[in-house]
Amino acid sequence: MVGQQKIILTPRYYLDNFRYVLDFVKRLYGNLLTDTEWDFINRFEGLPLDAQCLYVRFSNRKGLFFRVNKLQYTEITDLPVATAELLRTGFVDPLSAHHVSQGNEALSVFTKPELLDLLPLEPEETKALGKEKKEQVVRYALNELDFGEIVTSLTTHEAVVKVNFEAEDMMVKYLFFGNRGGSMTEFVVRDLGMVNFERYDESKLTARFRTRKEVEDKLLISLTNEEFYGLKEAETPADDIYNWFLNWNETRPELTEIAIPGYQKLVCRVGAYLERQKLPEQALSVYELSDRVPARERRVRLLFRNGAVEEALALCDEIAVSPLNAEERYFANDFREKILSAGEKKRTRKATTRFLLDAGSVNIPAAYRHHVEAGVMNYYLEQDYDAAFTENYPWRGLFGLVFWDIIYDANVSAIHHPLQRAPSDFYLPDFYLKRETLLKNRLTELATKGDWRRHTGRMFNAKYGITNVLVDWSDELLTLVQRMIDLLDIEQLRLILLEMARNVREHTRGFPDLLIWNEQGDYEFVEVKSPTDHLGPQQLHWLEFFQTIGVHGKVIRVIWEL
Looking at 347, 378, 400, which one is the last position of a domain?
A: 347
What mean pLDDT is predicted for residues 170-197?
96
Residue 554 lies in a domain: yes
In whole angstroms, what is the distance from residue 25 CA to residue 19 CA?
10
Alpha helices per DSSP H over 111-165: 112-118, 123-129, 134-144, 147-157
What's the rounded Cα separation, in Å, for the pair 419 and 208? 13
- Residues 268 and 283: their CA atoms lie apart, in Å, by 9
- The answer to whether position 352 is within a domain reads no
Looking at 1-15, 366-380, 473-487, which range is the least confident one?
Answer: 1-15
Contacts of 150 (CB under 8 A, 6+ apart): 103, 107, 119, 120, 141, 142
Looking up residue 270, the CATH number of its domain turns out to be 1.25.40
Rounded Cα–Cα distance for residues 431 and 83 (Å):
48
**What pLDDT, on a 0 to 100 scale, did the predictor assign at position 341?**
87
Query: What is each CA distance from 113 to 105, 133, 234, 548, in whole angstroms?
Result: 17, 10, 25, 70
Backbone angles phi, psi at 472, to 5 degrees: -95, 105
Q: Going by C-beta distance under 8 Å and a sequence separation of 6 or more, which residues neighbour residue 181?
A: none
Examine residue 294 and say whether the peptide bond preceding it is cis (omega within 30 degrees of 0).
Answer: yes
Task: Supply the pLDDT for residue 1.
Answer: 39
In this structure, the answer to whether residues 372 and 326 fall within a common structural domain is: no
Domain housing 533: 357-561
Based on the fold, state whether residues 279 and 365 are members of the same structural domain: no
Q: Are residues 295 and 411 in the same domain?
A: no
Instruction: Note the residue count of the chain.
Output: 562
Strands 514-517 and 92-94: unpaired
Beta pairing partners, 515: 388, 525
Whether 126 is covered by a domain: the verdict is: no
Segment holding 434, helix H or strand E: helix 430-445
- What values do phi and psi take at 514, rounded to 5? -125, 155
Q: What does the pLDDT average to over 190-208?
A: 94
- Give dist(CA 44, CA 206) in Å, integer: 25
Based on the number of CB atoms within 10 Å of its own CB, is 142 exposed (0-12), middle (13-18) or buried (19 or more)? Answer: middle
Strands 360-365 and 523-529: unpaired
Closest CA to 392 of 470, 475, 297: 470
Per-residue pLDDT of 298-324, as tens digits, reads 999 999 999 999 999 999 999 999 999
Based on its alpha-carbon atoms, the radius of gyration of the chain, rounded to whole angstroms, reads 29
Residue 343: pLDDT band (50, 70, 90) is low
Q: Are residues 413 and 481 in the same domain?
A: yes
Residues 456 and 393 in one domain: yes
Mode of pairing for the β-strands spanning 360-365 and 514-517: unpaired
Mean pLDDT of 103-117: 96
Amino acid letter, 227 = E
- Which H or E run includes 530? none
Asked if pLDDT for residue 192 goes beyond 50, the answer is yes
How far apart (Å, rounded) are the C-alpha atoms in residues 497 and 507?
A: 9
pLDDT reported for residue 3: 52
Cα 378 from Cα 541, distance rounded (Å): 27
Alpha helices by DSSP H, listed for 322-371, are 326-340, 351-357
- Whether residue 285 is contained in a domain is answered as yes
Q: Both 288 and 384 in a single domain?
A: no
Task: Looking at the structure, tell me whether residues 313 and 341 fall in a common domain.
Answer: yes
Q: Is 279 helix (H, G, I), strand (E, B) or coil?
A: coil
Q: What is the pTM of this model?
A: 0.92
Please indicate, yes or no, whether residues 335 and 438 belong to a single structural domain of this protein: no
- Distance from C-alpha of 382 to C-alpha of 376, rounded to nearest angstrom: 10
Which pairing describes strands 514-517 and 386-389: parallel, antiparallel, or unpaired? antiparallel
How confident is the model over 250-274, as pLDDT tens digits? Answer: 999 999 999 999 999 999 999 999 9
Q: Can you give 534-552 as a three-state secondary structure string?
A: CCCHHHHHHHHHHHHHCCC
Q: Could you tell me if residue 387 is inside a domain?
A: yes
Percent of the chain residues past pLDDT 70, beyond the cut = 98
Position 322 in a domain: yes
Contact 424, 208 (CB under 8 A): yes
Give the sheet arrangement for strand 160-163, strand by strand: 65-67, 160-163, 92-94
Query: Which stretches within 446-556 are classed as H helix?
Result: 449-463, 475-487, 490-502, 504-507, 537-549
Domain ends where: 302, 318, 347? 347
Question: How many separate domains does the chain show?
Answer: 2
DSSP 411: G
Give the pLDDT mean for 379-391: 95
Strand, helix or coil for residue 559: strand
Q: Which residues make Cβ contacts (< 8 Å) with residue 386, sequence separation at least 6?
A: 516, 517, 518
* Distance separating alpha carbons of residues 376 and 516, to the nearest angstrom: 10
Among residues 71, 22, 73, 78, the alpha carbon closest in space to that of 48 is found at: 78
In a domain, 23, yes or no: no
- HSE on the CB side for 349, CA within 13 Å? 10
Residue 114, domain member (yes or no): no
500 neighbors 542 (Cβ within 8 angstroms): no
Q: How confident is the model at residue 348 (pLDDT cuts 50, 70, 90)?
A: confident
pLDDT (mean) for 18-41:
98
423 with 393, same domain?
A: yes
Which stretch of DSSP H or E encloses residue 287?
helix 280-287
- CB within 8 Å of 513: residues ≥ 6 apart: 373, 376, 389, 390, 391, 526, 527, 528
Give the span between the Cα atoms of 185 and 174, in whole angstroms. Answer: 14
On whether both 447 and 528 belong to a single domain, the answer is yes
Same domain, residue pair 426 and 343:
no
Final residue belonging to a domain, choices 326, 347, 368: 347
Please check whether residues 299 and 361 belong to one and the same domain: no
